Structure 1
Amino acid sequence: MAGPTRITSPCLAIHGGAGTITRALLGPAQEAEYRAALTEALTAGYALLQQGASSLDAVVAAVQVLEDCPLFNAGRGAVFTHNGLIELDASVMDGRSGLAGAVAGVRHIRNPVLAARRVMEQSRHVLLIGEGAEQFALAQGLAFEAPAYFHTERRWQQLQQARAQSAVLLDHSAPGAAGAVFEIALNDHKYGTVGAVALDAAGNLAAATSTGGLTNKQFGRVGDTPIIGAGCYAENGVVAVSGTGTGEFFMRGVLAYDIAARIKYQQQDLPSAVEQTLDSCLRQRGGEGGVISLDAQGQVYFGFNTEGMYRGQISASGLQVEIYHA
């Protein structure tokens, strides 16, 4: 769509994953850690918007903070594959130009979201994977880390737990032995993908998403995060969306773009578009997860069909961070 013709108030929204997130399972100390990390990401991205930077700059900065935080399943602190590796995915989309970039299955790039942006801006492509993506990022001068940087004991214990039960865990499951503790862990589903959407002072929208995928996932598995239109989408005058949840359902339903299409072609308002898409793509098909969304008027809407979602927003009206459903 044509670019905006008005000056608007900048806004940024982020998420750090959705799932079975309750006060009883999280606890006050851990809740405080998550709130502090979300606040740091919001503050970093919004500071750029206040300085006149683009929405793309803001979402990349916010996601970079979350990738550097071991609390989230993206970058440092990402989950392990079945064979004990960490494989990272990320994407960005610029609503002004319609350009997008993504990387998948990378193992050494410190901030995959930066690599995704470089793919968008410095290549003719949208998606690069594995070794090819890493060679490109290295040529671009991006920071690399040894596997030990990404390794956290909590994620390693999750893998051992999942291996013992031949299960695939959906992130943040509490470490512990088999039996009752493991049963609790299986019910403690948290999708740790991180993401951001932003609207800048010129009215431009942007979105970014980053993840480590699923604990004990098959080697080479790629979810919705680096798939434009599934886990990430932005279009000026319409909406910016970043998702988290059961990636296969997001891909089958082209979930992020479905929200945009409802707004663009059916003139639905943002909450209606999000909820109807979640119904058709997730609830009716047995999938779980959620999205953060931001329309051209600066309206933020968080939609999810889980007990909680790490989320927050910041604008001239102030900063707000939420975790639980209500």
Structure 2
Amino acid sequence: MKFCFPFAFAMVTAGAAGIATAATPVLVIHGGAGVIKRDMSPAKDKAVRAAMTQALTAGYAELKAGKASIDAVSAAIVVLENDPNFNAGKGAVFTHEGKNELDAAIMDGFTLKAGSVAGVQRVKNPILLARAVMEHSPHVMLAGPGAEAFAKENGIELVDPSYFRTDERWQQLQKALKEDATKSAHADEETAKHFGTVGAVALDAAGHLAAGTSTGGMTDKRWGRIGDSPLIGAGTYANDGCAVSGTGWGEFYIRTVAAHELCMRVTQMRVPLARAAAEVINQEIPALGGNGGAIALDSEGHIAMPFNTDGMFRGWIGADGVPHVAIYGDEDDGVEPKAP
């Protein structure tokens, strides 16, 4: 079990008491938690780290340019959606019927505005459609063909469904289908079906937070199943003091309203971010039989990246502008362990 506790980032003071302070921009990302062991090929390890670094760099460039946290979250997630190594966008897993169904959500912690989409099959970057729902519709969540019609009306890029197909994901489905037929799935393989999501949380110079999550769902999912990622409060949430993006067995994140629960502990109960994250992700969810991880960020720039799986693709970038990326559970992610 892995616990990552907060790393406090310096705040830029404005001098005398009563004068508003400016925050040092921070961006934290994840590329999914689950059965991630050191038998990954060197080439894949290198490719994942490169993509994570690119996502951090792209998102942080928005923050350094003075843009809002929502811009950083969008930019970082687009990079991960475009990379086939992650279960989102291009690398989405297949449903039982052999289709790719994509979900995403984004939330602005300063305004509490949010947008999400579920079950889309032709949207190249679902996170951009979720943002369009937030900014250009009176709704929070759109699904299926209606969401794609809205995408077309708002100039969001649509692609042929074949764009999302990768051989690796197709083979994963074939293996899952065989396991279904023989009821022979190993526990690790069964659990692995529920993992693979990308997300980002950011703090901008104005002190505003945002969160976003994008996923292809679970391998071999049926009946139009929707997980926690596009559900505001379950897999994605941000307010004026906390931002969270989860990755894990979505049914349990929904049942615990995990992202909202974590943030309420921070903003209403004044629980330190690391402790709140550990309580929700590493205690509440496992107590029900689930597992996974999350990234969390508070308005003071503290980071928490808890997970209770073999690993979690994770990274952050702060005041020094240097991307920090880690994969495995026993790997140093550059966040100093501190008592909660």
With the length of structure 2 as denominator, give the TM-score of the two structures.
Answer: 0.88
1:17-166 mapped onto 2 (5 Å cutoff): 17-24=32-39, 26-166=40-180
What is the letter of the counterpart of residue 230 of structure 2?
A: P
Residue number in structure 1 paired with 2:237: 233
CA distance in 1, matches of 2:285, 2:191: 18
Q: Is the 1:99–1:120 contact (alpha carbons within 8 Å) kept by the matching residues of 2?
A: yes
Change (3 A) 1:283 1:185: closer
The equivalent residue for 1:291 is 294
Match of residue 255, structure 2, among 252, 257, 262: 252
1:185 offset after TM fit, Å?
6.9
Find the partner of 1:219 among 211, 220, 223: 223
Q: 1:124 to 1:179 in 2, by over 3 A?
A: closer
**TM-fit CA distance, 1:27:** 2.8
1:226 & 1:153 partners in 2: Cα distance? 26
1:137-161 alpha-carbon deviations (Å, 9 max, x no partner)? 1100111110111000111111111
- 8 Å CA contact retained: 1:20, 1:187: no
Deviation at 1:183, TM superposition (A): 4.7
Q: Return closer, same or farther for 1:222/1:184 CA change in 2, 3 Å cut-off.
A: closer
Matched, 1:321 2:317: no
- Cα offsets for 1:167-222 (capped at 9, x unmatched): 7xxxxxxxxxx999x75971782711000000001000000000000111003110
Contact 2:291/2:309 (<8 A) preserved: yes
Q: Which moved more, 1:182-191 or 1:40-49?
A: 182-191
Q: Do 1:11 and 1:314's aligned partners in 2 also have CA atoms closer than 8 Å? A: yes
Q: Distance in 1 between matches of 2:124 and 2:231?
A: 20
Moved over 6 A (4+): none
The percentage of counterpart residues that share the same residue type is 51
| Distance (Å, rounded) in 2 between the aligned partners of 1:84 and 1:185 | 22
Q: Does the 8 A contact of 1:89 with 1:104 survive in 2?
A: yes
CA apart distance, 1:281: 2.9
Gap runs ≥5 in structure 2: 1-18, 331-340
Partners of 1:120 and 1:126 within 8 A in 2: yes
Q: Is the 8 A contact 2:282 2:307 kept in 1?
A: no
**Alignment partner, residue 312 of structure 1:** 315
Q: Deviations over 1:110-141 (max 9, x none)?
A: 00000000000000100000011000011001
* Correspondence for 1:204: 208
Instruction: Give the CA RMSD over aligned residues.
Output: 1.8
Contact 1:90–1:209 (8 Å) recurs in 2: yes
Q: Does the C-alpha gap of structure 1 residues 299 and 83 become closer, same or farther in structure 2, counting only changes over 3 Å?
A: same
State whether residues 24 and 204 of structure 2, in contact with CA within 8 Å, keep that contact through their aligned partners in structure 1: yes
CA contact (8 A) 2:116 2:231 kept: yes
Q: Is the 8 A contact 2:35 2:188 kept in 1?
A: no
Amino acid corresponding to residue 23 of structure 2 in structure 1: T
Q: Could you say what secondary structure the match of 1:128 adopts?
A: strand
Q: 1:76 is paired with a residue of what secondary structure? A: helix
* Match among 191, 196, 200 for residue 192 of structure 1: 196
> In 2, Cα distance between the equivalents of 1:235 and 1:137?
26
Partners of 1:183 and 1:32 in 2: CA distance: 28
- Corresponding residue SS for 2:306: strand
Establish whether residue 273 from structure 1 lines up as the match of residue 288 from structure 2.
Answer: no
1:175 alignment partner in structure 2: none
Task: Report which stretch shifted further, 114-123 or 186-195.
Answer: 186-195
Q: TM-score, normalised on structure 1? A: 0.91
Unaligned runs of 5+ in 1: 168-177
Specify the code of the residue in structure 2 equivalent to 1:297: E
Contact 2:105 2:115 in 1 (8 A): yes
Q: Does 1:282 align with 2:297?
A: no
Q: Kindly tell me: are residues 185 and 259 of structure 1, through their superposed partners in 2, closer, same or farther at Cα, counting changes over 3 Å?
A: closer
CA contact under 8 A between 1:250 and 1:281: conserved in structure 2?
A: no
Q: Secondary structure at the match of 1:144?
A: coil
Secondary structure at 1:132's aligned position in 2?
helix
Residues 266-315 of structure 1: CA distance to partner in whole angstroms, max 9, x if unpaired? Answer: 11000110011124431111101000000000111101111100000001
SS at match of 2:22: coil
Aligned residues of 2:32 and 2:197 also touching (Cα < 8 A): yes
Residue 276 of structure 1 aligns with an amino acid whose one-letter code is E
Counterparts of 2:307 and 2:91 in 1: how far apart (Å)? 24
**Residues 249 and 281 of structure 1 are in contact (CA less than 8 Å); yes or no, is this contact kept in structure 2?**
no
